[in-house]
Amino acid sequence: MTDAVRMSLEEVHAAAKAAMLGQGFAENHASAIANTVTAAERDECRHHGLFRLPFYVNGLRSGQASPDIEPVLTELSPSVIKVDAGYAFSPLALETGDAPLAERAKEFGIAALAVTNALNVAALWPEVERLAVRGLVGFAFVSSSPYVAPAGGMKPLFGTNPMAFAWPRLDNPPMVFDQASSASARGEIQLRLRDGEALPDGWAIDNEGRPTNDPQQALLGAQLPFGGFKGSNIALMVELLAGPLLGDKISFEQAAHDKANTGAPCGGELVIAIDPAKFVAGGDRAAQLRHAETLFSRLLAQDGARLPSGRRYEARRRTTAEGVMVPRSLVASIEAYAAGRQVTERATYEGDHITAGAASA
Ligand code: NDP
């Protein structure tokens, strides 16, 4: 990264929090957003790091997101809890539901958290990883704005609809994967647009349904699911689990609700926690996890194979010691946010509008 500034993770957190406070978020929301953005920077998932702050700001300035509403936790059944985010961003609602979800999973063997009415522009691995560090298996599903054409179709219908899965390990951090059901996350396309790079084949079609490698045409056309109809079916499942199952919106309904076209969709997220010890008679979690390790070690014995999350943990070790490099232009925007100013990032993607230009107050 040429014109970049090195920041420690503490500085990243402080800068992100100050930016959110400067834009009018309440302290608890600003902290929760800074937590999730910092975790993404720490693990070198930059598309969900500081790069995302404009999305939070756009959601707030458009009037779509509440800056300060408190999430409301209710029990729908002994093992199903709900956190209504009240049209605020998801990080605080997820933090609110985390401990009650884990407690219920340990009591009943399986429990679910329905987060509703949440604007979600984050990665999902934090919510499942923190379950797995406590010995639980975690799943998370979220739908988004309709950007992805179903297999065989040409028009956007599904969100990029990520799902995440975490498995606890005895002597290692959890094995976690977190992946969109589209061929790429939308943030990857936005970053390539910003950096003037072409897209790999198979990521997108233009608005006439023709394959395209141009990020701008892709954003105006449709993304493609990964793996053809198989990814398309997973996207369909995620729509159902994060929408109708929770009494919340399908991606196309989220778009209708996002009248200001902020690119910060508002809908549901399903998080499921399972206690492995409750799934075998006698409940020997350690034996189950040791058994799982035999699979991991065979996988790792193959040259070229790796576990998902291995890259993140390696990045975490490095950035915890060395900090991260942040583009100077982004640092300037973050400082402007902290001072309460409005900023147009160069080539920031806002909803379906791509803006290019100098930062402005
Ligand atoms: P990637 O394709 O980059 O990675 C998907 C997963 O595969 C990661 O867990 C990654 O682990 C793992 N992986 C990568 N390479 C390998 C390999 N060679 N062997 C084994 N595992 C591997 O992610 P996506 O682009 O699909 O999604 C990026 C993020 O975007 C996700 O965090 C997702 O939650 C988020 N997202 C959020 C949305 C929202 O609406 N909130 C919408 C869509 C996506 P590792 O990290 O270790 O590389």
Convert the pLDDT of each residue in 74-103 to its tens digit: 999 999 999 999 999 999 999 999 999 999
Residue 132: predicted pLDDT:
98
Q: Is the CB of 180 under 6 A from ligand 1?
A: yes
What distances in angstroms separate CA 51 from CA 25, 114, 205, 348, one per listed residue?
18, 27, 25, 9
C-alpha dist (Å) from residue 266 to 31, 158, 205, 358: 20, 14, 25, 29
Distance CA 337, CA 74 (A): 34
List pLDDT tens digits, range 191-224: 899 889 999 999 999 999 999 999 999 999 999 9
Top mutation candidate among 48, 177, 234, 318 for ligand 1, by most atoms within 8 Å of CB: 177
Percent residues over pLDDT 70 in the chain: 94
Tokens of 290: 């040791």
227 lines ligand 1 (CB under 6 A): no
Ligand 1 close to Cβ of residue 306 (< 6 A): yes
| pTM listed for this prediction | 0.93
Which band of pLDDT confidence, cut at 50, 70 and 90, is reported for residue 347? very low
Alpha-carbon distance of 64 to 196, in angstroms, equals 30
> Is the distance from the beta carbon of residue 328 to the nearest atom of ligand 1 less than 6 Å?
no
Banded pLDDT at 355 (limits 50, 70, 90): very low
CA dist., res. 186 & res. 203, Å (int): 10
Label residue 22 by pLDDT band (50, 70, 90). very high
Burial (CB count <10 Å: 0-12, 13-18, 19+), residue 313: middle
Q: 1-61+323-361, which class in CATH?
A: mainly alpha
What is the per-residue pLDDT for 337?
A: 97
Domain residue limits, the chain: 1-61+323-361, 69-182+225-309
Strand runs labelled E in the chain: 4-7, 72-77, 80-89, 110-119, 137-142, 163-167, 175-179, 204-205, 211-212, 222-223, 266-274, 324-327, 348-350, 353-355
**Cα dihedral across residues 289, 291, 293, 299: positive or negative:** negative
- Distance, in Å, from the CA atom of 224 to the CA atom of 221, rounded to the nearest integer, reads 10
The residue with tokens 């001072």 is 339
Q: Which CATH class is domain 69-182+225-309?
A: alpha beta
Q: To the nearest whole percent, how much of the chain has pLDDT over 90?
A: 86
| pLDDT for residue 353 | 34
Which of these, 79, 128, 71, 123, lies nearest to 101 by C-alpha position? 79
Which burial class, exposed, middle or buried, applies to 214 when counting CB atoms under 10 A from its CB (0-12, 13-18, 19+)? Answer: middle
pLDDT at position 251 over 60: yes
3-state secondary structure of 291: helix
Q: Which of 98, 117, 124, 118 is nearest to 36 (CA)?
A: 124
Separation CA 72–CA 85 (nearest Å):
7
What number does the ligand 1 atom closest to the CA of 312 have?
A: 47
pLDDT, residue 188, reads 85
Task: Judge whether residue 2 has pLDDT over 70.
Answer: no
**Closest atom of ligand 1 relative to the 185 alpha carbon:** 25
Query: How many whole angstroms separate alpha carbon 76 and alpha carbon 40?
Result: 32
Structure confidence at residue 344 as a pLDDT band (50, 70, 90): low
> For residue 352, what pLDDT is reported?
35
Ligand 1 neighbour 309 (Cβ under 6 A):
yes
Phi, psi at 256, each rounded to 5°: -65, -30
The predicted model gives 167-183 an average pLDDT of 96
Q: Please tell me the distance from the alpha carbon of residue 34 to that of residue 7, in angstroms, as a whole number.
A: 14
Report CA(160)–ligand 1 centroid distance (Å): 11
Nearest CA to ligand 1 atom 1: 179
Q: Which of the four pLDDT bands, split at 50, 70 and 90, describes residue 185?
A: confident
Q: Whose CA is nearest to atom 3 of ligand 1?
A: 179
Say if ligand 1 is within 6 A of residue 162 CB: yes
Helices (H), 147-284: 186-195, 215-220, 229-242, 251-257
Q: Which pLDDT belongs to residue 257?
A: 78
Residue 345: pLDDT band with limits 50, 70, 90: low
Q: What is the mean pLDDT of the chain?
A: 92
The yes-or-no verdict on residue 348 having pLDDT over 50 is no
